[in-house]
Structures are given as structure tokens and as C-alpha cells.
Structure 1
Amino acid sequence: MINREIIRIKIVQLTYAYYQNGNKNIDTAEKELFFSLSKAYDLYNQLLSLIVAITREAQRRQEVLQAKALREGSKMPSAKFTSNRFALQLESNIQLGEFMETQKRTWADYPEFIGKMFEQIEQSQIYQDYMNDKEDNYAADRELWRKLYRTFVQENEDLDSLLEEQSLYWNDDKDVVDTFVLKTIKRFDEKNGDKQELLPEYDSEEEKDYARKLFRATILNANDYQHMMTEASQNWDFSRLAYMDVIIMQIAIAEMLTFPSIPLSVTINEFVELAKFYSTPRSAGYINGMLDTIARHLINTGRLLKQMDKKDNN
């Protein structure tokens, strides 16, 4: 699950923290990097378990309504939502259950929030359409939760605030992790039952190696990379650059030089996007120009055995 987008974000954060920390120990910083990455995987599991928590709240309310209907001799409420096949399969998932057993805090600790989310869902057109639809199969049940997740979980300020309370590591992770939750929903297959595999923490050891090598190259070769920036800045006073700009370019140069298989256009574009989020409004354009200049210089001097593709020729 942990991909290079998440890794780049974490390395920007941890590199910045490394230089702010008076005790600059790279081994300690590397451990913090991998701990931070593991927390992104925790968030993935927490968001999947949110579906289970909402379903359980619906079941609790359903039981109250059923008891009332029995007492009054009135029509029994529909159990379609509480019997959603996808949600029940997720609830019984062995991997998710094992993860939740290790957590000190669960969604059961936030009953008001879960109750409010269910009420919002219950009042939505998505819910009403589902309850009124005669189609009743696993695919429709799974599609319901894909729609509900996109509508009520992806863009939810209350949820964002609550997650920030739970872990400071999750501040910048959710947008990326949301895409993996949606991918997981799509991949669920009824025949797999409670043994349906969730996404692994890492797709391969290659991603771990990428994180370790990029972080270490960024720190260990900092002076060399900053010298390249100074040369490329020409008419700019390097000392007046935003500190985060320097960090972002330092990591980008490390990726250019350390990973021959990653195209230059990918590296430049990815770090320009990070600059839009982490630095000043003018940083993205400046960093784009600087990295382009540095890459061309490294190619011309034989230090970089890559080529600028058409997207890089501005």
C-alpha cells in the first residue's frame, strides 16, 4: 500500500524535522521515518474499520426499531442496509480484526461522531436510492459503500479533525490513503469471505529500499546538493530561499542521482507538486525551473545518465 507518493511526503517532513532537531542522528531519524510510514498503514485500517463501525451503529438502531415494531404490531423496518453483504464481509475480515485487536482506541470511543455519520448517510439520496432499489446483490452492496465513502469520508472536516486528534502522523496522509481504501472496496470479492486479503503494508521490499536510500542520500550528500542549487540559482540569493524550498530540491536531486530508473520528468513533477502544498505560493514555479537547470547541468557534465524527455523541454 505504501507507495512512493506517501514516501516522498514523509521524507519531506522527516528531513525538515531532522534539520530542526539539535540531535542529528541519522539512524534515529530513519527509524522515525519508517514508524511514520507504518502509521499511514494504520490509517488505512482505521478507515476501513469506520465502515464496520457505521454498520454496527445502524444495526444497534435497527434492533431498537424492531423491538418497537414488535411492541406496537407495526411494520418491521427494512434490514437491507444492516445486512449489506460487503459491510458484513468487511466486519468479519480476519486481517482487519487482528489489526483492531491491537488498537487502544477504536471507533467505539466516538459514539456521537459515528451516530452523526450514520444519520447523514441515512438522510442522503444515495441511501434512499439503495433502499428503494429492487436490485439486491453483492455488487450493489459493494457499490453503495464505494459511493458512501467518496461522499461522506473523503471530504469530511469533522473526520479530519478527529483523525488529527488521534495521530499527528495522519495530518497529510488521508488524501492518499483514501485512494487505497477505495481500491480495496473495489477489489473485495464475496467468494473470499473473511479471508479476503487487504492491501499489504508494502507491495515489495523495493519500496522500503527506496525510502531508505532516498532519505540517506538526501542527508549524507546535503552539502553537494546544496552546492548544485547555489550554482543553479545564479541571480537569486540562495540564502534567502524559503527553507522548505531547499529541503524539497535537496530530496529531488537525491532522487535524480540515486534512482536511474525514475524518469526526470516524474521526479521534477512530483516535487513541484509537493512544493505547492508545503512551501510558498511562488515556490512551485521556481523549484520547477531550478530542478530543470540542475538536471540539465548534471547530464551535460556526465554525472547523470538520464535524458530530458519532451515534457521536460519547456
Structure 2
Amino acid sequence: MINRVLIRLKIVQIIYAYYQNGGKNLDTAEKELFFSLSKAYDLYNYLLLLMVEVTKQANKKLNAAKNKLIPTKEELFPNTKFVENRFIAQLEVNKQLLDFAGNQKKTWENEADFVKSLCEQIMESDIYKEYMASETSSYEEDREVWRKIYKKIIFNNAELDQVLEDQSLYWNDDKEIVDTFVLKTIKRFEEKNGAKQELLPEFKDDEDQDFARRLFRRAILNSDYYRHLISENTKNWDLDRVAFMDVIIMQIALAEVLSFPNIPVSVSLNEYVEIAKLYSTPKSGGFINGTLDGIVNQLKKENKLTKN
């Protein structure tokens, strides 16, 4: 699940914090990097559990209406299509998700008010109303309605963002990327797999872990050389006057460009320009793009840049 976009973001955050804390212990900072990545995987599982919890809340709402002193006919014999959703029933018994919930002791029980609010928001949506009114019923429809709900209601949800931020500072910038993996997971579910449906693994393979470790270490251990290249290509600027975050981003970008021959230069540069737009000043994207482009051209002329 953890991809290189997320790895790059985390490395920028951790290296920035490393220097802010005096740059003393590389091993400790590396452990912090991988702990931070593991927290992103926790968030992925936690958001999958949210869909199950919302369904449980909807069921509680139906039962409460049934138990009213004088329930209406509609309340006595409600439409149970949503609470009996087959995709959610499969997700609820998913072995990997149950293992996560058991090992992490992570539930939504302490966020009952938010879950109730989200449930009401979903039940008031056109997506829900159309689904409940449909005369057809299939596993594919059950799965698709949750893909739509997640994309339209959970994906950009300020209230949820606040709940997650209050729970973990590590999740501040993770949700947007993790959301894409939740949507991918919903789409991958197949009824025939039952409780053994595989969720996305934390890392696709050892290659991405190696990428994270090598990029992190090289960005720091070769920092003097990278900063020399930056200084040479920003002669009209005193390096001390360049935003520190811009220097960090360019330092990591150069580590990637020079250490990973299989990654095209354009891919690396585009990724770090986007990170600059997210983490630095409004003008940083253009400044970093121009500076890195100049350094890359210089390295090519000097035959110091090898790409497959």
C-alpha cells in the first residue's frame, strides 16, 4: 500500500525534523521514518473499519425506531438493504482487518458522535436514497454504493480530518493518499473470497522499503555535496536566504536523481515540485524546478548523471 509518493512525503517531513532537532542521530531518525510509514498503514485499516462502524450505527438506528412506544409500520418493517450490505458483511469478518483491530486495540467506539454524524450524512445523501430505492440487489451494487459513498462523502470530510488529527499527528498529511488506497481496496473485493479477501500489503515488496532507506540515508550523508550543487546554481541567492524547506526538498530530490538510475529525472523533479507546493512557499515550486533543472543539465554536461 505504501507507495513512493507517500515515502517521499514522509522523508521530507522526517529530514526536516532531523535538522530542526540538531541532526544528531541518523539511526533514530530512520526508525522514526519507518514508524511514520507504519502509522499510514494503520490509518488505511482504520478507515476500512469506519465503513463497518457506520453500518452498525445505521442498524442501531433501525432498532431504536422499532422499539419506540408507538412505531410506525415503516419503522416496524424497515428497509434493511443498507444494514445488510454484502460488501460490508464481508469486510466485517475480514481476517486481516480483524487481526488489525485485535492487535492495535483500534476501534471507533470513542468517536461515537462522529460516527453518528457521518451515518446521518450518508443516509441523507442522494447516493443512499437511490440505492435504497433500487429494485435490484447484488453484491456488485452493494460494493459500488460504498465506493460512491467513500468518494463523495468520506474522501473530503473536514470533520473526519479533525477527528484523525486529534488521534495522531502522523495522520495530518496522510489521509488524501490513503483514501486512494481504500477506494482501490473496495474495487478489488470479490464475494467469492469471503473472509480471506486480501487487503493491500503494507509494502508492495522489499524494493520500496529499500528505496525509503537508501533515499533517506543518502539525502543526509551526502548533504554537503547536494548543498554545494544547489549553491552553485543559485549564485544570485545567498543559500542562507533560501527557504530551509526548499533546501531540504532539493537535497532529497538530488539524492533520488543521483542514486536511482531507473527513475526518470522528469518523474523525480515533478514529484518534488509538487511536494514544494504542499509544504513550502507559493513561489517554491517554480524556484525549485528551475534550480534542479539547472543542476541536472550541469551534471549531464559533466557526465555525472547516469540514467538507464
Quick check: 228-237 or 266-275, which moved more? 228-237
Q: Distance in 1 between matches of 2:270 and 2:221?
A: 24
Q: What CA deviation, in whole Å up to 9, does each residue of 1:1-22 have, x standing for no partner?
A: 0000000000000000110113
Q: Is the 1:65–1:77 contact (alpha carbons within 8 Å) kept by the matching residues of 2?
A: no
Moved more, 36-45 or 230-239: 230-239
Superimposed CA distance per residue, residues 51-73 of structure 1 (whole angstroms, 9 cap, x where no aligned partner):
0110111111122233449x657
Q: Tell me the distance in 1 between the aligned counterparts of 2:146 and 2:285.
A: 37
* Counterpart for residue 163 of structure 1: 164
Aligned residue for 1:191, secondary structure, equals helix
Assess, with a 3 A threshold, how the Cα gap between structure 1 residues 62 and 222 changes in structure 2: closer, same or farther.
Answer: same
CA contact (8 A) 2:253 2:272 kept: yes
After superposition, the C-alpha distances for 1:21-72 in whole angstroms (9 at most, x for unaligned) are: 1361111110000000000000000000000110111111122233449x65
What is the CA distance between 1:122 and its match in structure 2? 0.7
Deviations 1:139-180 (A, max 9, x none): 100010001001111111110011001110000000000000
Structure 1 residues 73, 236: CA separation in 2 closer, same or farther (over 3 Å shift)? closer
In the alignment, is the contact (CA less than 8 A) between 1:272 and 1:287 conserved in 2? yes
Q: How does 1:20-35 map to 2 (within 5 A)?
A: 20-22=20-22, 24-35=24-35
1:289 partnered with 2:290: yes
d(CA) in 1 for partners of 2:248 and 2:149? Answer: 38
- Tell me which residue corresponds to 1:252: 253
CA distance in 1, matches of 2:287, 2:137: 54
- Paired residue for 1:311? none
8 Å contact from structure 2 (residues 276, 284) kept in 1:
yes
Alpha carbons 1:299, 1:306 under 8 Å: kept: no
1:224 to 1:68, Cα distance in 2 relative to 1, 3 A: same
1:242 paired with 2:243, answer yes
Check conservation: 2:40, 2:174, Cα contact below 8 A.
yes
Count the aligned residue pairs.
Answer: 306
Contact 2:65 2:71 (C-alpha < 8 Å) held by counterparts: no
The aligned counterpart of 2:79 is: 78
Q: Which residue of 1 aligns with 2:58?
A: 58
CA–CA distance in 1 between the matches of 2:198 and 2:149?
22
Query: 1-side partners of 2:168 and 2:134: how far apart?
Result: 39
Q: Distance in 2 between matches of 1:39 and 1:228?
A: 34
1:298 positional shift: 1.0
How far does the alpha carbon of each residue in 1:201-242 deviate from its partner, in whole angstroms, 9 at most, with x for none?
000000000000000000000000000001011222222100
The residue identity in structure 2 corresponding to 1:194 is A
Partner AA of 1:112 in structure 2: D
What fraction of aligned residue pairs are identical, expressed as a percent? 57
User: Structure 2 CA distance, aligned partners of 1:104 and 1:160?
Assistant: 21
Are 1:232 and 1:294, in contact at CA under 8 Å, matched by a contact in 2? yes
Q: Residue deviations 1:239-265, cap 9 Å, x none?
A: 210000000000000000110000000
Distance of 1:240 and 1:84 partners within structure 2: 58
Contact 1:11–1:33 (8 Å) recurs in 2: yes
Measure the CA separation in 2 of the matches of 1:128 and 1:72.
22
Q: d(CA) in 2 for partners of 1:204 and 1:16?
A: 27
CA distance in 1, matches of 2:9, 2:72: 58
2:46–2:106 Cα contact (<8 Å) kept: no
**Which amino acid letter does the alignment assign opposite residue 14 of structure 1?**
I
Equivalent position of 1:154 in the other structure: 155
The AA in structure 2 aligned to 1:289 is: G
CA RMSD between the two structures: 1.3
Contact kept, 8 Å, 2:249 with 2:276, in 1: the verdict is yes
**1:272 paired residue number:** 273
1:245-293 CA-to-partner distances (Å, cap 9, x unmatched) read 0000000000001100000000000000000010001110000000001
The one-letter code of the counterpart of 1:120 is Q
Q: Provide the TM-score with structure 2 as the length reference.
A: 0.97
Distance 1:54-1:228 versus aligned 2 partners, 3 A rule = same
Partner residue of 1:39?
Answer: 39
Read off the aligned partner of 1:74 and give its amino acid letter: K
- Residues 1-314 of structure 1 aligned to structure 2 (within 5 Å): 1-22=1-22, 24-68=24-68, 72=71, 74-75=73-74, 76-306=77-307
C-alpha change, 1:256 and 1:73, in structure 2 (3 Å) is: closer
Q: Could you say if the C-alpha distance between residues 23 and 228 of structure 1 is closer, same or farther in structure 2, counting changes exceeding 3 Å?
A: closer
Deviation string for 1:73-103 (max 9, x for gaps)? 7240110000000011111111001101123
Q: Check whether the contact 1:202–1:208 (CA below 8 A) recurs between aligned residues.
A: yes
Counterparts of 1:233 and 1:284 in 2: how far apart (Å)? 15
